[in-house]
Structure 1
């Protein structure tokens, strides 16, 4: 069963997923700390370059299937125009109400 973004329990994660699914890059960046970092399949990536390519430049969309760890861990079917749909895991670290790091990869 897919969870809608408003069903996500952690407010920072909910705001990030909502912005991602709306294709709103400015709102997405506003959910992050200025020094936010990320990794994809265990390798650190340049956050703005990666999100520009994997999310906003390819119409990324996240259908959340489950959440755990007080809403800081998600399993989602993620799709974009480059890779199609894949089952992914997402883990978020939040500092002062904003996402300071996220880690994603195939689930």
Structure 2
């Protein structure tokens, strides 16, 4: 069973996932706080390079399985044209209504 994106608890996370799933670069950037950072499987990554490779140029998409911590932690089936589908964890830090950091990795 999945959770509809429009039912995600945290508005900033909801905007992030909505933009990611729509392949909307401008909306995605708008969901991020200035200077936002990220890590993938415990390694710091350049956010712009990672999202271009793993999301926008490869058709990234999240199906949300569950959320916790007020919507700041997600378990999702993530798929893209490069890696196929995998179960992933996502942890968000939200500052002033925007995603300041996200950490993702295989679940």
Question: Quick check: TM above 0.5?
Answer: yes
- 1:81: how far off? 0.1
Per-residue displacement from partner, 1:12-59 (whole Å, max 9, x unpaired)?
Answer: 000000000001011001000110000000000000000000000100
Instruction: Show the counterpart of 2:91.
Output: 91
Question: Structure 2: which 5+ residue stretches go unaligned?
Answer: none
| C-alpha distance in 1 between matches for 2:98 and 2:23 | 19
Question: RMSD of aligned C-alpha atoms?
Answer: 0.4
Residues 46-65 of structure 1: matches in 2 within 5 Å?
46-65=46-65
| Alignment: residue pair count | 107
Question: Structure 1: which 5+ residue stretches go unaligned?
Answer: none
Corresponding residue SS for 2:16: helix
* Alignment TM-score, normalising by the size of structure 1: 0.99
- 1:4: how far off? 1.1
| C-alpha distance in 2 between matches for 1:89 and 1:101 | 14
| C-alpha distance in 2 between matches for 1:88 and 1:25 | 21
Are 2:11 and 1:15 equivalent residues in the alignment? Answer: no
